[in-house]
A = this chain, B = another copy of it.
Amino acid sequence: MDSFQTVLRFFTNQKATIGYSFMALMTIGGERLFSLVSFQCPCNQDQNFAYGMTFLLGPAAVLMILGLFFNNRLWRLYTGCCLNPVKLCPHGNCFGCARVLLSIFTGACVAPIMWLSVALLSGTFYECAVSGLEDKVVVDLFCKNKTLKCRDELARVPCGRSQLPGDESKDLLLMLRAQSQILGWCLIIISAFVGLLGTCYKNCRSKVSYLQLTFWKRYMEKEMERFDILSVEYATKLADRNLQSFFDNKDPAPFPFPNHKAWEEIS
């Protein structure tokens, strides 16, 4: 029983790590699924770019929106701030609010960046998108040292249906994939670096010590948990009382309940 508790505590501590690993696995699986089942490059100069970009950026946008949607902190801060804009800047301190919004936004960026990295490392979407570019500079760059046909047939390369000699077509494909993967690694390194810098800055400016911070984080979690449990309990009691009094046709008994202001304060 004791060792089970230890294991449980370990997993609770590593919740964030496990969550991110799970997310990464889901992203990789989703990317595999999309590029095998749904993605089929149209291989025509007009559509390639739009199509590839849709598959590269579409899921990222959806993930970003979902990330904002399921963020409790955003809603807690935001709710009711149209009727009471002062809430956003308590004590004239709009800067703090902006910092919270920035941190929320950063949190929502994790999933899209993961998707982009995975998609770029696999390279399928990028190949299709870039092969449809009509910009002269780019095409010249790609077709350097190649036969003249290359310009016309570039869009058909990702399908393997171009009329270029096999070697050239393979060269082009390898080049595009290499670009995509280099981009992907750059994205990963840059975002990891930015994340590290951000955490450094945040912790550096914090007024309390590290151990105190971890304590408060624990406290927040526990408070959230207890709030859930207690609110369900109170809601059940309140509902019971009201319905009883309704069916029995009697006045409801008084019920101790926090007033509006108290709710505002704890939010």
Contacts and interface: CB of A to CB of B under 8 A. Distances in A.
Given A75-B203, A205-B83, A193 B65 contact: yes
Contact of A82 (B38, B205, B256): B205
B212 A235 contact: no
Of the candidates A41, A66, A79, A185, the one having the most CB atoms from chain B within 10 angstroms of its own CB is A79
B79 A210 contact: yes
Complex copy number for this chain:
3
Interface string A209-244: 111111100110111011111111011101110111
A196 B65 contact: yes
A47 to B, nearest CB: 5
A246 interface: yes
B207 A234 contact: no
A90 to B, nearest CB: 13
A173 B263 CA distance: 58
Contacts of A3: 8
B236 A222 contact: yes
A223 B243 contact: yes
Contact of A211 (B9, B58, B76): B76
**Chain A's interface: helix, strand, loop or mixed, by majority?**
helix
**Interface size of A as a range:** 35 or more
A42 B177 contact: yes
Contacts of A213: 79
26 contacts: A40-B177, A42-B175, A43-B171, A44-B174, A47-B179, A47-B182, A50-B182, A54-B182, A55-B185, A58-B189, A62-B189, A69-B195, A69-B199, A79-B206, A79-B209, A83-B205, A83-B207, A159-B174, A161-B167, A209-B264, A209-B266, A219-B235, A222-B235, A222-B239, A226-B236, A230-B244
Interface of A: 3, 8-9, 13, 17, 38, 40-44, 47, 50-51, 54-55, 58, 61-62, 65-66, 68-70, 72, 75-83, 121-122, 159, 161, 167, 171, 174-175, 177-179, 181-182, 185-186, 188-189, 192-193, 195-196, 199-200, 203-215, 218-219, 221-223, 225-232, 234-236, 238-240, 242-244, 246-250, 256-260, 262-264, 266-267
